[in-house]
């Protein structure tokens, strides 16, 4: 694919999700609305899902990526946050499907391997790698999303950063979608 390939990388969380549109789009966060009261209610949860879904739909509509790379759930995630994350992720997956943008799930360790060469790297190690390789500085959520998008851009043949061959080997271990159709 040519260097016009555009990838949306997403690092989802219940309260604040990172996004990056590479090679030339914005990098930022989607912050969930605050609960109305002292305790989060079903209405608050629905507001959060609607807010994230609309934000991702707007990114898809405005930037028209060729691929969405979504950081998959962390292995062993077991908590009430896991349920909220699953709900948010479902909304995002559906938004990509409706926009007819192929979606790939990249494991947390796969993104870390691509970024640093270490599957168990810390978020700070990923940020350091981003600074060393691209001269960029972002918060933790944006860093993960940036690396997810970079991984996808490399797969499309339009790398936005140079990483060692050992890091790139992770590309062969991801179940990439067939491009050109709905995910």
What is the per-residue burial (b if ≥16 Cβ within 10 Å, else e) of 162-179? ebeeebbebbeebeebee
| Domain with 149 in it | 7-173
Domain assignment of residue 180, yes or no: no
Number of domains in the chain: 1
Domain assignment of residue 46, yes or no: yes
Domain assignment of residue 121, yes or no: yes
Domain assignment of residue 73, yes or no: yes
- CA dist 28 and 164 (Å) reads 27
Query: 61: which residues sit within 8 A by CB, 6+ positions away?
Result: 99
Pairing label, strands 67-71, 7-11: parallel
pLDDT at site 81: 73
Domain assignment of residue 59, yes or no: yes
Domain assignment of residue 24, yes or no: yes
| Regions of the chain with pLDDT less than 70 | 1-3, 75-78, 179-183
Question: pLDDT tens digits for 69-78?
Answer: 999 977 666 6
Domain assignment of residue 22, yes or no: yes
Q: What is the DSSP string of 106-128?
A: E-HHHHHHHHHS-TT--HHHHHH
Domain assignment of residue 77, yes or no: yes
pLDDT at site 78: 67
Long-range contacts: 139-144, Cβ < 8 Å, 24+? Answer: 139/18, 139/29, 140/18, 141/11, 141/13, 141/16, 141/17, 141/18, 141/29, 142/11, 142/18, 142/19, 142/20, 142/27, 142/28, 142/29, 143/18, 144/9, 144/11, 144/18, 144/71, 144/111
pLDDT at site 179: 66
Average pLDDT, the chain: 91
φ/ψ of residue 23, rounded to 5? -95, -15
Return the CATH number at 88.
3.30.420.10
């Amino acid at each position: 694919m040519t260097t016009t390939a555009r990838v949306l990388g997403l690092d989802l969380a219940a309260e604040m999700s990172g996004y990056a549109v590479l090679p030339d789009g914005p990098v930022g966060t989607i912050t969930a609305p605050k609960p109305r009261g002292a305790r989060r209610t079903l209405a608050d949860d629905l507001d959060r899902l609607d807010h994230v879904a609309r934000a991702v739909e707007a990114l898809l509509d405005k930037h028209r990526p060729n691929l969405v790379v979504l950081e998959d759930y962390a292995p062993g995630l077991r908590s009430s946050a896991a349920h909220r994350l699953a709900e948010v992720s479902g909304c995002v997956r559906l938004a990509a499907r409706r926009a007819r943008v192929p979606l790939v799930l990249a494991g947390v360790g796969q993104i870390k391997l691509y970024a640093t060469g270490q599957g168990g790297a810390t978020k700070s190690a990923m940020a350091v790698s981003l600074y060393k390789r691209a001269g960029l500085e972002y918060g933790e959520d944006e860093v993960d999303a940036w690396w997810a998008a970079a991984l996808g851009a490399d797969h499309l043949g339009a790398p936005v950063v140079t990483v060692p061959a050992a890091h790139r080997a992770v590309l062969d271990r991801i179940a990439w979608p067939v491009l050109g159709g709905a995910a």
